[in-house]
A = this chain, B = another copy of it.
């Protein structure tokens, strides 16, 4: 009989859970819209119900689980399993999620950052299967990261490692919400691309099929670029260049063999991967840059579920 785990992906939109065996096979799933406008106790109840339901659908009970892993929005303390008032769960204060779920369910629980569980999942069963030094980047409204170094998830001393969105690419750049200046996130996130496009449209009135007023999204820029719109393509070129600059710094520090990219902008394929790869080849270390593969992630939304289960299997982090 294989050991069984439940991996949970707690997000601002959905609470997803999956029953997963020790080989990484997903046996059953549960997904429910996050009641993010309710008190934190309600969302915690949803997590417990989701875990119970995923187990039930797989024909087992919670008592049959070897462990439970939860990926949650940061900031959090992965050593103690405490979620620390995440932006995506506005009604949450400091929530000792590990202790609460562990006490309720009587099963060992691990809690880690959502970007970290995605990296662990992709390294176990996805893009990073064959490498021990691996960076996983989530390119959304912000930029998140998870790093595997020498086969192990990099936590750092208080669980704030791999914050690739907050490395400086221009020390004279604008201030970021994090307190730093010129952060990569201000140049290469979906939000940053939209902001830059709006500014250029307003200032330079470029030839483009994009709307000159009203709401603009990265998806609209993507559609325009696919249709050959030069201005939209240029927006992706710039975004990929900036991301490449940030990745070179990360590669020079972490010496990872692979960078896998996920999130909205990663769906744009070569429009974004092209300029990223060219920038890394132009700026990276000789002996390193030719060997680093930069590719899309492979597991989609399952990465977080599978990674959370894997962390549960490994018994979590030193505390």
**Chain A: residues with CB nearer than 8 A to chain B?**
75, 84, 131-133, 147, 149-150, 152, 154-164, 166-172, 178-181, 242, 245, 248-250, 252-257, 282-289, 291, 318
Question: What distance in Å separates the Cβ of A136 from its nearest Cβ neighbour in chain B?
Answer: 13
CA distance A172 to B283 in the complex (A): 12
User: Max chain B CB contacts within 10 Å: which of A159, A172, A254, A286?
Assistant: A254
Q: Which residues of B contact A178 (CB under 8 A)?
A: 285-286
- The answer to whether A287 and B253 touch across the interface, beta carbons within 8 angstroms, is no
A75-B287, A179-B284, A285-B178 known; A156 vs B248 contact (CB < 8 Å): no
A248-B180, A283-B181 known; A256 vs B156 contact (CB < 8 Å): yes
CA distance A167 to B179 in the complex (A): 19
Q: Which of B131, B132, B156, B286 contacts A255 (CB 8 A)?
A: B156
CA distance A133 to B156 in the complex (A): 6
Q: Which residues of B contact A132 (CB under 8 A)?
A: 157
- The answer to whether B249 and A167 touch across the interface, beta carbons within 8 angstroms, is yes
Q: Is the interface of A mostly helix, strand, loop or mixed?
A: loop
User: Max chain B CB contacts within 10 Å: which of A163, A167, A249, A250?
Assistant: A249
Q: Which residues of B contact A156 (CB under 8 A)?
A: 133, 149, 254-257
A157-B131, A283-B181, A284-B180 known; A252 vs B166 contact (CB < 8 Å): yes
- The answer to whether B285 and A179 touch across the interface, beta carbons within 8 angstroms, is yes
Question: What distance in Å separates the Cβ of A248 from its nearest Cβ neighbour in chain B?
Answer: 6
Additional A-B contacts beyond A154-B254, A157-B291, A179-B282 (10; CB < 8 A): A75-B287, A156-B254, A156-B256, A158-B255, A160-B252, A161-B253, A162-B253, A167-B252, A168-B169, A171-B245
Q: Which residues of B contact A155 (CB under 8 A)?
A: 150, 255
Q: Which of B149, B181, B250 contacts A154 (CB 8 A)?
A: B149
